[in-house]
């Protein structure tokens, strides 16, 4: 199994509606992309720390992750999150 972890710091001015729209877009992906085995995301409970939002997804292997990353629906959500964020940190690891 492989974990794909995304940590996001939102730009100043990102609204609750922006975050709700992002959550809706993320929530739709597991129904569309069969490679996703697990998918959890949410806002940091203590936003004074380094990041505001996290996503942890699970895939069978690196090839499944590669298919996910190149899938058009994922690309659209990726563009959405990049537009909201001043920084993103991404880690992929085997477990």
- pLDDT tens figures, 64-93: 999 999 999 999 999 999 999 999 999 999
Helices (H), ranges, 1-95: 16-32, 62-69, 72-84
Contact between residue 74 and residue 68 where contact means Cβ atoms under 8 Å apart: yes
Q: What is the band of 48 on the pLDDT scale with cuts at 50, 70, 90?
A: confident
- Helix-helix angle 72-84:16-32, to 10 degrees: 160
pLDDT average, residue stretch 24-37: 97
The pLDDT of residue 34 is: 96
The pLDDT of residue 49 is: 81
pLDDT average, residue stretch 26-51: 93
Q: What is the band of 57 on the pLDDT scale with cuts at 50, 70, 90?
A: very high
Contact between residue 7 and residue 88 where contact means Cβ atoms under 8 Å apart: yes
The pLDDT of residue 75 is: 96
């Amino acid at each position: 199994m492989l974990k794909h972890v995304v940590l996001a710091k939102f730009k100043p001015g990102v609204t609750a509606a922006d975050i709700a729209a992002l959550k809706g877009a993320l929530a739709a992906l597991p129904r569309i992309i069969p490679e996703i085995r697990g998918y959890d995301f949410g806002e940091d409970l203590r936003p004074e720390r380094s990041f505001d939002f996290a996503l942890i997804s699970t895939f069978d292997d690196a090839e499944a992750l590669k298919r996910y990353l190149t899938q058009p629906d994922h690309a659209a959500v990726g563009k959405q999150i990049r537009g909201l964020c001043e920084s993103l940190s991404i880690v992929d690891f085997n477990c």
